[in-house]
Amino acid sequence: MLRLLGQVSKRAVTINLTMNIETHISLANHSTMRLGGTADYLLKVTEASMIPEAITWAKEHNLPTIMIGDGSNIIWGDEGYSGLVLVNQISGFEIQKVDQKAAYFKIGAGENWDKVVEKSVDRGYSGIEFLSLIPGTAGATPIQNVGAYGREIKDVLIELEAYDSLTNKFVKLTNDECSFDYRMSRFKNPDTDKGRFFISSITLSLTKAHPQKPFYSVLQNYLNEKNISEYTPAEIRKAVIAIRSNKLPNPKEVANCGSFFFNPIITMEKFVQLQSTYPAIPNWPSEENKVKISAAWLLEQAGFKNYQDKETGIKTWPKQPLVLVNISAKDTSSLLKFRTKIIDKVYDKFGIELKQEPEFIS
Ligand code: NAP
């Protein structure tokens, strides 16, 4: 560990940090896939005020900087990260502007997301109960506009606070300024601001109203089976937790990064052509003249249902083939090899190129 107190001379640079930057840290401990090389430098950020100091230090040393949460959507390269990794551990759960119908919740970006959902539901608020049990931190949710069962973080996010590394200032960005799209935002888009903003808090507007139908059929069926007709946030959260825990592996127990591929959104023309050969292909309406199809179904049809790849030590999760699970892989290149096998096979069979959902960082 490098204790950066007062004047420290490393690479002949004077540093006035009062923080502990760790050196040569295994990144496998910062990805729920548990693979990856080492980070040259890593800092646990517990206060927003640490961000400018850390970024200035990295800039002075010509080092790239990246901020992460729990690593639930990150694949690190085997070569590691030759820069400074900031692990967001900024806490905070503050209820503001309360009236009888709604309240604003200001949440530290490093808070565990599911704990945030639990606390809001326990207080009787609705808006994020559909996003129960999604792994990761609160600050990660706007990056890819996290969504589940038809609800997205963009539906409730009022604004967020972030450090802008371009102007070296903290800024407040409103919902409109985040350029949210399906599993996308300006923070993730390489053509706009990827890597520019370091999110320190998010503010959500949650209501006391009950969630309204229609619900995804998997959720509605569960509620029907359990004879639940009063759709409180607590009942929806309970249902989502039951459905997800039955189908998806717990990253604390089984190394995985959730869905490994996006559901492809294809043109109507391509869809009609596919449907003539595969009438059972699961599909949902998407943007105009486009159709969302099931990546999980494509994998199953390409032979990857409950498939264990002996060569690489990766397997597809029996109840959800979109989740790749690290059973015994020694390195990220093994995972990437298996990923390529899947992409190639699906492309050969359907002419559709699957896109990886977790971010690859090296
Ligand atoms: P699932 O319930 O098996 O559903 C599979 C896919 O079908 C989902 O991707 C979902 O699209 C789509 N789908 C199902 N019913 C639909 C409907 N009525 N209208 C439109 N699309 C429909 O999915 P799962 O893997 O167990 O995951 C459960 C939920 O968590 C899903 O909503 C999934 O998207 C979400 N999830 C989100 C992330 C993320 O935000 N990064 C990662 C993993 C899973 P949608 O993806 O559009 O919901």
Report which ligand 1 atom has the smallest distance to the Cα of 292: 21
Residue 59 has pLDDT above 90, yes or no: yes
Residue 210 contacts residue 233 (beta carbons within 8 Å) = yes
Give me the percent of the chain exceeding a pLDDT of 70: 95
Q: Which two tokens stand for residue 345?
A: 């096979």
Give residue 7's pLDDT: 37
Determine which residue's CA is closest to atom 18 belonging to ligand 1: 216
Residues contacting residue 229 through CB under 8 Å, at least 6 positions apart: 223
- Tens digit of pLDDT for each residue in 175-229? 999 999 999 999 999 999 999 999 999 999 999 999 999 999 999 999 999 999 9
- Candidate list 22, 300, 357, 359, residue with the active-site label: 357
Q: How far is the CA of 247 from the centre of ligand 1 (A)?
A: 12
Give residue 18's pLDDT: 58
Residue 13 has pLDDT above 60, yes or no: no
- Tens digit of pLDDT for each residue in 278-335? 999 999 999 889 999 999 999 999 999 999 999 999 999 999 999 999 999 999 999 9
Q: Which two tokens stand for residue 221?
A: 């069926």
Residue 99 has pLDDT above 90, yes or no: no
- Candidate list 120, 126, 200, 259, residue with the active-site label: 259
- What pTM value is reported for the model? 0.93
Give residue 48's pLDDT: 97
- Tens digit of pLDDT for each residue in 236-269? 999 999 999 999 999 999 999 999 999 999 999 9
Residues contacting residue 106 through CB under 8 Å, at least 6 positions apart: 92, 93, 94, 96, 201, 202, 203
Segment 9-12 long-range contacts (CB within 8 Å, at least 24 positions apart): 11/61
| DSSP collapsed to 3 states, 86-122 | EEECCCCEEEECCCCCEEEEEEECCCEHHHHHHHHHH
- Asked if omega into 135 is within 30° of 0 (cis), the reply is no
